[in-house]
Structure 1
Amino acid sequence: MFAQGKPHNTTFLMTDSPRAPRKVPTRKDFPAPLIEATEYIAAGRLAKAEPILRRYVEQNPGDVNGIRLLGELGLQLGALQDAENLLQRAVELAPDYHAARYAYANALYKRHRYEDAIAQLDQLLAQEANNPGWLTLKAACLVEINEHAQAVPLFETILEHYPQFRQAQLSYGHALRAVGRSEQSVAAYEAAAEQIDGAGEAFWSLANLKTYRFTDAQLTSIEQLLGDKQCPYRDYYHLLFALGKAREDRGEYEAAMAAYVKGNQVRGKSVPWQAETFHHDTRELMAFFDEALIARQRGSGCESPDPIFVVGLPRAGSTLIEQILASHSQVEGTAELADIIALARKISGKRRRDDPSKYPSALADMDAQTLRELGESYISSTAVQRMTDAPFFIDKMPNNFSHIGLIHLILPNAKIIDARRHPMDCCFSGYKQLFASGQGFSYGMDRIGNYYRDYVDLMDHWDRVLPGRVLRVQYEKMVDDTEAQVRRLLDYCGLPFEEQCLAFHETQRTVRTASSEQVRQPIYRSGMGQWEPFSRWLDPLRQALGPVLERYPEK
């Protein structure tokens, strides 16, 4: 099985161009193993397809069709580095194989290497300048490097010529949502939902606005699509999560819970997660980063104070913290950046999925200059995300909580903020959330409960070995006494108080997370206790959270 990639929160997922629909393989076109694997993939049985493709590629190392299919499967499974290596190999073997180069560009996109992806797409576009699929992925890359002024018109040009290109409609909606053009974003999603094929992601995109309410007619359409035995796997799980949100908004909690449970069961099968592995890795980090290691490496790293890291779990209030800070004149909001995770992977030295990892142990032998160079490489690689002259910027990758030790060693002057939310609210909100890719820990109550426990244990460890290094911001306290918490937040960052930080909902900026519409409203209390109507079905979550709940006694 592919090794599970680090979680990513990708905004766009590219599919085939309308001018180049995927050809259904036949025995005449492909060998039998490839046909069998594609049938498993079409049915959503990715774990069945993977060993067939891997064995075939091992036996036929020059077959670019097999390599491409295995690489694309890796993208679906979240094994992004394996996928990139495979697809790069396919392109090297067959430079004119456009489908392989397009898939390679998609892998680079998913690995947050947007400029490299654009370089591959420009090679394709030099051959066919108006290919809408390639143009759409290029526009998606431009969005991710904050070049919305180029991306939005490009989407509009594509849709002018291909109004039925659903993926372009969806990606256009995502871009409009990110820049706060909410009504136009809704219109784009609704147009995508009205198309016959692939409506699942469009309905989920509407639900994911959090503020959208489905009509009776739309709800009927969702249920009819779910009842179709020919409903594609990808549409199916998107529709289930959309149905859960629609039912919850109507107060129909049992029906909503049934949809959420089914959605997690279905999606969880194709997004594997090894809780034992994460638990082991967490304990390894705690054992390695002790007081002695911290003391021995004191004074190392890059002195830049620019980054402000916001870590925690998704749906814990990190976007609210980001929006407050980004409202300050000296702070720029960027996105959930994968650069620290990429550095950890580089340090691990793994070339194949089964190779032993040298992270974090390799850090013990690094001298001050090497640690400084690692910090400088982070500052350099994130420069593409910075659009203003503000001295500070925010990196909101939640999963960076695992890498606080690394951050401390290579960027000793960076600020680190832990966004914390009541475990039942946080975990249930994550359980209801369909992520674009990664975050495999969220698709099961036991998964996310155990993950939350490991997160709390690790954050407690950082507090012990790096006292005062991390500021914890409790979401409920931010809601109850916003001004006091905002002042506390700014004091920690060494920033003077500015009134616009209290009027954060008025700040015009790009927001590319599920909370984009919520942080454009004044702060509200309705986000607390959302799990309570579902309480009688959440015993598995309570059991997984275990002693963590003792810190938050139920009323």
Structure 2
Amino acid sequence: MSGTVEEALDLTNRLLRTDPARAAAQAREILAVDRFNADAHRLLGRALRATGDAEGAARAELGAISASTRDPMLVEAATALLDGKLAVAEHILRPRLKANPFDVAAIRMMAELAGRLERYADAENLLRRALELAPAFAAARSNLATVLYRQNRHGEAIAELDTLLDDDPENPAHSNLKAAALGRVGSYEEAIGLYEAVLARVERQPKIWMSYGHVLKTVGRQADGIAAYRRAIEMRPQLGEVWWSLANLKTVKLDDGDVATMGRALEDESIGEDDRFHLHFALGKALEDAEQTEQAFAHYKEGNRLRRESIDYDRQEITGLVDRSIALFTPEFLEARTGQGCPVPDPIFILGMPRAGSTLIEQILSSHPLIEGTQELPDISQMARRLSGRKLKSDDSAYPQEIAALDPQTLRALGEEYLERTRIQRKTDRPYFIDKMPNNWAHSGLIHLILPNARIIDARRHPLDCCFSNFKQHFARGQGFTYDLDDLGRYYADYVRLMTHIDGVLPGRVHRVFHEAMIEDTEAQVRALLDHVGVAFDPACLRFWENDRAVRTASSEQVRRPINREGVDQWRRFEPWLSPLKHSLGPVLERYPDSPF
């Protein structure tokens, strides 16, 4: 090699276009004198791929990534990411990628940055580019699987994980994520088998024991689920999420020893915020069961405070969405679109507030031989997010106004897209299936337009019972309004406001089930519910607790028992601390079950 390394690299780059074999030879000459030159490794990989040597190209591409770990600029960016200094990392990575768009290590780091900001589409695009440049880059493929999982594209995540597991079949992290994804698409027994295989190889994995407990609980194996949670606690008593998972079974009471262990864990200054707020929620439930009301509320309040600080929730967003929806969905607008959309009647949407009795309604309906229960499906909200045109949270939303620009073919295509995307969740040949995502109330207008023959059921519960039940509940994601009493009241009022409007412009379109009425006269409510769906009454719907279907929500154990009044008026013991909630609910509380709007 003659001249400087920079001149040799430039020559190699030029040779790539005309003579890849000579380019490869030139790159090897550079590496003979500078074996950690990432650019030379990258050029060698591109040259070998152009000559058809895929195996040699893969080695060179991975060599480039390994060499990049010695680059001071990327080390600085990695340190910034590790410290949570995202702006610093971005300031380093953007000019780096502009100067060298083939730097796979930098592309992956930029994808991690996008993922931290929940810009998952951007992260996905970057990771796919990284894999296009270096197909053997396992870390990027693992990241891609995680990003797909977080976008609720579980089937695609499983495909990427299968590729990884073909090369490294005993990788516990990949097996764990695949098992979680299998659970998300209803393949519970396969997920259980995968967890058991992982734990047989690497037993001391408290988080995998916890995940194993989740899926055991989902399929109704409560005793086995509790045992799995307890194994995780034995290994790591400070793991707050597993304590909350145990408390969240609702039918399990934690004892004095558990309370003492959690208290000691909270005194450990080394635990992270995630463990800390989970422990507060679990202690709140344990102390509430022990009728230590004031102490219980103190823990609920602290858990919520910590969780609220860690999320970016803007209460005005939902109010603005409701305002725009009411302005758009007028009788004239809806009348002009009569007969459009996809006419298939398969979906039954159960929507409303979380903790309002929707899981009970789902359990009742899925006990009917014509109706399949799936789970809370994210597809409608993802569609709405796409229609919004937002890339960043700070961007203005074009939703739902953008719906006005959709022609009949597009409305039908969106309905068909929903049916296709949810097909992976259907495990039987029953003609109807349930989508129980509660937040779909905000998209009831969109649902009507793209699926005009779908059934819509609004699960409603007394404002104080419902909102306080949410305040006591820690949700893994997606319910940012539940961590502040004022936010909760405003959200509930906005929900009632939009559903009242839908009742006015689409009379009879939504069937409402009041939780208290379902408890007081179950058979009458069930018959009315089945009439709305359009199926004949079946006595099995009154024996819903005998249904052994999998249930993933927080009410999983409660719906495996006959209807009872245990959840009614639980807020009353906590009334001295609920003034902010009462104030923000305003006339919605005073007029319940009627609407003040």
On whether the aligned pair clears a TM of 0.5, the verdict is yes
Determine helix, strand or coil for the equivalent of 1:156: helix
Q: Which residue of 2 aligns with 1:18?
A: none
Q: Which has the higher helix share?
A: 2
CA distance in 1, matches of 2:488, 2:410: 36
CA distance, structure 2, for counterparts of residue 55 and residue 299 of structure 1: 52
SS at match of 1:419: strand
**SS of the residue 2:297 aligns to:** helix
Q: Distance in 2 between matches of 1:348 and 1:177?
A: 36
Letter in 2 for 1:113: R
On the 8 A contact 2:214/2:225 being kept in 1, the answer is yes
Instruction: Report deviation, 1:66.
Output: 3.4
Equivalents in 1 of 2:312, 2:133: separation in Å? Answer: 30
Q: Compared with structure 1, are the counterparts of its residues 304 and 118 closer, same or farther at alpha carbon in structure 2 (3 Å cutoff)? A: same
Structure 1 residue matching 2:117: 3-state secondary structure = helix
The AA in structure 2 aligned to 1:74 is: L
Per the TM alignment, residue 443 of structure 1 is displaced from its structure 2 partner at its CA by 1.1
What is the rounded CA distance, in whole Å, between the counterparts of 2:73 and 2:204 in structure 1? 29
Aligned equivalents of 1:107, 1:159: Cα separation in 2: 25
| Aligned residue among 66, 84, 92 for 2:109 | 66
Q: CA deviation at 1:460?
A: 0.7
Matched, 1:39 2:93: no
1:348–1:89 distance in 2 versus 1, CA, 3 Å: farther
Task: State the partner residue of 2:311.
Answer: 271
For the Cα contact (< 8 Å) 2:468–2:571, is it kept in 1?
A: yes
Contact 1:72 1:103 in 2 (8 A): no
User: What CA distance in whole angstroms lies between the structure 2 residues aligned with 1:422 and 1:121?
Assistant: 44
Instruction: Return closer, same or farther for 1:301/1:59 CA change in 2, 3 Å cut-off.
Output: same
SS of alignment partner, residue 214 of structure 1 = coil
State the one-letter code of the partner of 1:230: S
Per-residue CA deviation, residues 243-302 of structure 1 (Å, 9 max, x unaligned), is: 111111101111111111111111111221001122112111111111111011111011
Q: How does 1:242-253 map to 2 (within 5 A)?
A: 242-253=282-293
What is the CA distance between 1:84 and its match in structure 2? Answer: 4.0
2:583 to 537, 543, 546: 543
**SS of the residue 1:531 aligns to:** helix
Per the TM alignment, residue 88 of structure 1 is displaced from its structure 2 partner at its CA by 4.5
> Which letter maps to 1:70?
L
TM normalised by structure 2 equals: 0.83
Q: In 1, are the aligned partners of 2:321 and 2:400 still within 8 Å (CA)?
A: no
Offset at residue 529 of structure 1 (A): 0.7
Distance 1:349 1:522 in 2: 45
The aligned residue for residue 386 of structure 1 is: 426
Kindly report which structure 2 residues correspond to 1:211-250, keeping only aligned pairs within 5 A, or say none.
211-250=251-290
Q: Give the match's secondary structure for 2:586.
A: helix
Cα shift readout 1:407-440 (whole Å, capped 9, x = no counterpart): 1111110000000011111111111111111211
Q: Distance in 1 between matches of 2:143 and 2:445?
A: 35
Indicate yes or no: 2:201 matched with 1:158: no
Q: What SS does structure 2 have at the residue aligned with 1:473? A: strand
1:360 to 358, 381, 400: 400
Partner of residue 335, structure 2? 295
| Structure-1 separation of matches of 2:425 and 2:129 | 29
Relative to 1, partners in 2 of residues 1:228 and 1:93: Cα closer, same or farther, differing over 3 Å? farther
Number of the residue aligned with 1:134: 174
Q: 1:384/1:541 Cα in 2 relative to 1: closer, same or farther (>3 Å)?
A: same
Secondary structure at 2:173 match in 1: helix
User: What is the percentage of aligned positions where both structures have the same residue?
Assistant: 48
Aligned to 2:546: 506
Q: Give the distance between the partners of 2:271 and 2:238, measured in 1 at CA.
A: 9
- Three-state SS of the structure 2 residue aligned to 1:509 is coil
For residue 38 of structure 1, report the CA deviation from its aligned partner: 2.7
The code of the aligned residue for 1:373 comes to A
Aligned twin of 2:498: 458
Instruction: Determine helix, strand or coil for the equivalent of 1:103.
Output: helix
Residue 310 of structure 1 corresponds to which residue in structure 2? 350
Q: 1:196 to 1:367 in 2, by over 3 A?
A: closer
**1:344 offset after TM fit, Å?**
1.6
Distance 2:359 2:340 in 1: 31
Q: Is the 8 A contact 2:111 2:122 kept in 1?
A: no
> Given that residues 328 and 501 in structure 1 are in contact (C-alpha distance below 8 angstroms), is that contact kept between their aligned partners in structure 2?
yes
Cα deviation digits, residues 211-269 of structure 1 (max 9, x gap): 11112222111110101111122211111111111111101111111111111111111
Whose Rg is larger?
2
Which is bigger in relative contact order (C-alpha 8 A, separation at least 6)? 1
The whole-number CA distance in structure 2 between the counterparts of 1:193 and 1:517 is 21
Contact 1:74 1:82 (8 Å CA) reproduced = no
> How many angstroms apart in 1 are the aligned matches of 2:400 and 2:284?
40
Q: Which residue of 2 aligns with 1:45?
A: none
Task: Note the C-alpha offset of 1:511.
Answer: 0.5
1:11 aligned residue: none
2:171 & 2:237 partners in 1: Cα distance? 20
1:488-524, CA deviations, whole angstroms, 9 ceiling, x for partnerless residues?
1111111111111011011010111000000001101
CA drift at 1:154:
1.1
**Amino acid in structure 2 at the alignment position of 1:73:** R
Using the alignment, how far apart are the partners of 1:237 and 1:455 within structure 2? 27
Mapped partners of 2:174, 2:73: distance in 1: 25
Q: Distance in 2 between matches of 1:50 and 1:454?
A: 34
User: Equivalents in 1 of 2:78, 2:309: separation in Å?
Assistant: 21
Check the 8 A contact 2:387/2:400 in 1, yes or no.
Answer: yes
Aligned counterpart, 2:29: none
The residue type equivalent to 1:272 in the other structure is: D
| 2:369 partner SS | coil
Q: Which residue of 105, 108, 111 maps to 2:148?
A: 108
> Is 2:383 the partner of 1:343?
yes
The Cα of 1:96 is off from its aligned counterpart by 4.1
2:125 and 2:590 map into 1 onto residues whose CA distance is 45
CA RMSD after TM alignment: 2.2
Query: How far apart are residue 357 of structure 1 and its match?
Result: 3.4
Q: Which amino acid aligns with 1:109?
A: Y
What CA distance in whole angstroms lies between the structure 2 residues aligned with 1:244 and 1:84? 39
Q: Distance in 1 between matches of 2:133 and 2:310?
A: 29
Task: Give the equivalent residue in structure 2 for 1:517.
Answer: 557
Distance 2:590 2:449 in 1: 33
Question: Aligned to 1:309, what secondary structure does the other structure show?
Answer: strand
How far is 1:536 from its partner?
A: 0.3
Shift, 1:33, TM fit: 5.6
* Equivalences, count: 518
Q: Is the 8 A contact 2:77 2:93 kept in 1?
A: no
CA offsets, 1:96-142, max 9 Å, x none?
Answer: 44333323212211221111101111221122111011011111111
Counterparts in 2 of 1:234 and 1:53: CA distance versus 1, 3 Å: farther
More displaced 10-residue stretch of structure 1: 215-224 or 294-303? 215-224
Is 2:225 the counterpart of 1:185? yes
Q: Secondary structure at the match of 1:416?
A: strand
